[in-house]
Amino acid sequence: MEFKKIIEEKSNEYWGKYLPHLSIDCVVFGFHDATLKVLVVQMKEKNLWALPGGYVLKTENIKEAASRILQQRTGAANIYLQQFRVFSDLNRSEGFFEEFEDTIWHKQRFLSIGFYALVDYSQVNLVVDEISDACEWKPIDELPELMMDHRSIFDKALITLRKQLNHKPIGYNLLPEKFTMPELQKLYEIILGKKLNRGNFYRKMLRYDILIKLDEIRKGGAHKAPDLYQFDLEKYHLALKNGFSEGW
């Protein structure tokens, strides 16, 4: 079924099902092959991509809606979600639906609540739904053209993640259960957008006392096999609550 017909059919259903004028857009970050990636959806019959998003049921809380939307798109439950901003510019979404009648649900003015999400790349099974042609991970520095104000939403999410990285131990939700110190440093460097001194990074991370050094190494490769670490969850969550006394 063509995109326009699907939207028109869904409109009547949405008026009775969801809260009007309120939407959710999610910036989903994943870390894979030493690259920070973001999840984007290609709209059906359009040469435009979008952040995964949706609407709020009349029977659910905002965060419940964000969790439901992402579970439907990724198959993953218990995703780490952080609300970071409301996007409310006039005409932020109407232009994309200019070919539709003004009574169409999607063409109304929407205030969008932005969430960023941190997921374990390996635990995600991407879903292409009836209004999309593709759902893919893209490196954050290779994003395609995004619809409406979704590029601005992504930019604000990355800035927020960068600020929180200065005070919170971001990493547990992005890295596999066992990881090397170079992998952790690479993640921090990509998010911060700058190189970090290896020795200083290692010392600071060990001083935070949130890592457990495992009695095993990462095998393979031409160089000395690096040690493996995992997060001490009790100390990690305490650090999440209290923050760090110094930034990067």
**The model's pTM:** 0.88
Domain with CATH 1.10.10.10 in the chain: 179-242
Label residue 168 by pLDDT band (50, 70, 90): confident
24-70: pLDDT as tens digits: 999 999 998 889 999 999 998 888 999 999 999 999 999 999 999 99
Q: Which amino acid is at 60?
A: E
Q: Does position 246 have pLDDT exceeding 80, yes or no?
A: no
H-helix or E-strand spanning residue 189:
helix 181-192
Q: Are strands 211-217 and 132-139 parallel, antiparallel or unpaired?
A: unpaired
User: Strand ranges (DSSP E) for the chain?
Assistant: 18-32, 35-43, 49-50, 53-57, 80-87, 111-119, 132-139, 179-180, 211-217, 227-231
- Is 171 in contact with 192 (CB distance < 8 Å)? no
Domain with CATH 3.90.79.10 in the chain: 3-165
Say which residues have a Cβ less than 8 Å from residue 104's Cβ, sequence separation at least 6.
Answer: 7, 8, 11, 97
CATH 1.10.10.10 fits 179-242, yes or no: yes
CATH architecture group of domain 3-165: Alpha-Beta Complex (3.90)
141-161: pLDDT as tens digits: 999 999 999 999 999 999 999
